């Protein structure tokens, strides 16, 4: 068996991650960042993050294929390196953010932590105990909009086996029936009956679970909870009332009203077509429609919030992914050549400038695919191939206008 030094192994990992199209913490750490200005803005937010200073989240805008998802991946790796726990989700028909509790049920089980390769928070939870709870704000009676989730968490440390697994499942968004929880609580605390409180309603009290989980993450020793939300433009498939709820929920998560008291930072990504078709569309103009609808359905406070949401979404809290500059692409492709040479112990003779001229105006991933193709052919057959865009066909990107909601579409 061949012995490889660390440099060769690292290069192999980076090349294979590029080949698969799935960025890793190694590849984002060692390859040049094509959107360094965006990464630095996000990193600055995270470095200034603390319990008394929850920075507002951000929306990343960009055309399809320009690298929004890659920016989220870089942000994920940056957050993990800085000691945050991270959850990442793409919106879909099933997960559209208009139902905050269902959205919670998707992000909570996907928590990644800096010190573990497995997904979930249970391993970190089991290193702590009930005796540690007074050190956190979790036991503060007025901390959450409803007391039930915090009581469930406290009882987690008083149970074992199936009961404990059921309570952990509840913390992940799979609710334990109230009668069953009452039985679990009373069997473990016969001297402390379950206190009386209003019925927990998922549509009203979901924020209690978000707040509790963020506090649990801090309780376990991490700096906070970073939520990464991709494909926000899928909100466009909702009817007007559901879009309104989704906007309001996202506004709260992004902390754009400066009311967030839990250690949560949110970064979301949306296609620019959401602005073109919904925010300022000729047929549908949510920036005008939603404030009036919010006042009718909820009141003046929500009307103000939704106006603020649209102002922030295209203003100070927005970032834009622009096409990469040629000099940055050349620097990136030179590193790809270098890592390919290190990985397979050979000396490639390929000019990135020539590849860019051959392919013309393309996305960064197309240039990377083209460079890997040329490198592999030269390495295996000692031949140089000339590429053009016809050899590297990408599936059509973007959405038709019909993809977005009709103004007449109602719940």
pLDDT tens column, 195-228: 999 999 999 999 999 999 999 999 999 999 999 9
CA distances from 259 to 251, 272, 286 (A): 10, 27, 24
Residue 79 burial (C-beta neighbours within 10 Å; 0-12, 13-18, 19+) = buried
The residue assigned the tokens 């928590």 is: 111
Q: How many residues does the chain have?
A: 411
- Round to whole Å and give the CA distance between 175 and 212: 15
Q: Judge residue 348's burial from the number of C-beta atoms within 10 Å of its C-beta, 0-12 exposed, 13-18 middle, 19 or more buried.
A: middle
3-state secondary structure 88-130: EEECCCCCCCCCHHHHHHHHHHHCECCCCCCCCCHHHHCCCCH
Q: Which two tokens stand for residue 252?
A: 């709260």
Q: How many CB atoms are located within 10 Å of the residue 143 CB? A: 17
Residue holding tokens 């406070």? 301
Find which of 62-66, 191-195, 224-228 is predicted with most confidence, using mean pLDDT: 224-228
Report strand pairing: 264-271 vs 225-230: parallel
Task: State the Cα torsion 21-22-26-31 to the nearest 10°.
Answer: 40
Rounded mean pLDDT of the chain?
91
Distance CA 361, CA 45 (A): 33
**Do 232 and 250 meet the contact criterion of CB atoms below 8 Å apart?**
yes
Average pLDDT of the segment spanning 187-200: 90
Q: What is the pLDDT of residues 226-246, one digit of tens each?
A: 999 999 999 988 999 999 999
Q: How far is CA 321 from CA 39, 270, 308, in A?
A: 11, 10, 23
d(CA 357, CA 336): 17
Q: How much is the average pLDDT of 92-118?
A: 94
Rounded CA separation 181/197 (Å): 14
Instruction: Name residues whose C-beta falls within 8 Å of residue 374's C-beta, 6 or more positions apart in sequence.
Output: 350, 355, 384, 385, 387
Domain boundaries, the chain: 1-30+324-393, 35-121+220-320, 128-207
Q: Closest Cα partner for 314 from 279, 361, 342?
A: 279
- Of all residues in the chain, the percent with pLDDT exceeding 90 is 76
Q: Which of 220, 231, 201 is nearest to 263 (CA)?
A: 220
More confident residue, 283 or 339: 339
- Rounded to 10°, the helix 100-107/202-219 angle is 30
d(CA 11, CA 375): 14
User: Average pLDDT for residues 44-52, to the nearest whole number?
Assistant: 92
Least confident among 15-19, 43-47, 148-152, 270-274: 270-274
CA distance 156 to 331: 51
Q: What pLDDT shows up at residue 41?
A: 96
**35-121+220-320 fold:** Rossmann fold (3.40.50)
Give me 81's structure tokens: 């390196």
């Amino acid at each position: 068996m061949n012995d490889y030094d660390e440099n060769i192994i690292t290069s192999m990992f980076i090349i294979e991650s590029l080949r698969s199209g799935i960025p890793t913490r190694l590849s984002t750490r060692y390859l040049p960042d094509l959107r360094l200005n965006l990464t630095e803005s996000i990193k600055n937010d995270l470095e200034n993050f603390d319990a008394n200073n929850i920075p507002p989240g951000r929306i990343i805008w960009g055309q399809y294929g320009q690298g929004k998802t890659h920016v989220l991946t870089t942000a994920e790796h940056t957050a993990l390196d800085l000691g945050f726990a991270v959850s990442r989700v793409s919106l879909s028909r099933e997960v559209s953010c208009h139902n905050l509790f269902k959205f919670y049920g998707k992000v909570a089980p996907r928590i990644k932590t800096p010190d573990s390769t497995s997904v979930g928070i249970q391993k970190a939870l089991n290193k702590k105990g009930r005796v540690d709870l007074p050190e956190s704000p979790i036991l503060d009676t007025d901390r959450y909009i409803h007391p039930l989730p915090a009581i469930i968490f406290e009882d987690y440390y008083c149970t074992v086996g199936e009961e404990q697994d059921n309570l952990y499942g509840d913390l992940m968004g799979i609710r334990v029936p109230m009668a069953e929880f009452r039985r679990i609580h009373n069997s473990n605390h016969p001297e402390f009956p379950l206190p009386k409180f209003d019925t927990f309603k998922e549509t009203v009290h979901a924020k209690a679970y978000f707040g509790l989980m963020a506090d649990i993450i801090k309780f376990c020793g991490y700096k906070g909870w970073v939520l990464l939300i991709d494909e926000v433009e899928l909100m466009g498939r909702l009817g007007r009332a559901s879009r309104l709820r989704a906007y309001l929920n996202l506004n709260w998560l992004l902390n754009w009203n400066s009311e967030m008291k839990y250690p949560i930072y949110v970064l979301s990504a949306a296609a620019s077509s959401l602005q073109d078709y919904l925010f300022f569309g000729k047929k549908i103009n949510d920036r005008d429609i939603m404030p009036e609808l919010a006042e009718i359905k909820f009141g003046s406070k929500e009307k103000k919030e939704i106006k603020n949401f649209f102002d922030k979404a295209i203003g100070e809290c927005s970032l834009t992914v622009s096409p990469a500059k040629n000099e940055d692409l050349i620097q990136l492709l030179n590193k790809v050549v270098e890592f390919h040479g290190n990985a397979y112990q050979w000396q490639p003779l390929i000019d990135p400038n020539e590849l860019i001229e051959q392919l013309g105006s393309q996305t960064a991933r197309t240039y990377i695919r083209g460079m890997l193709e040329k490198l592999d052919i030269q390495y295996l057959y000692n031949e140089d191939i000339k590429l053009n865009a016809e050899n590297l066909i990408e599936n059509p990107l973007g959405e038709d206008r019909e993809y977005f909601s009709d103004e007449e579409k109602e719940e």
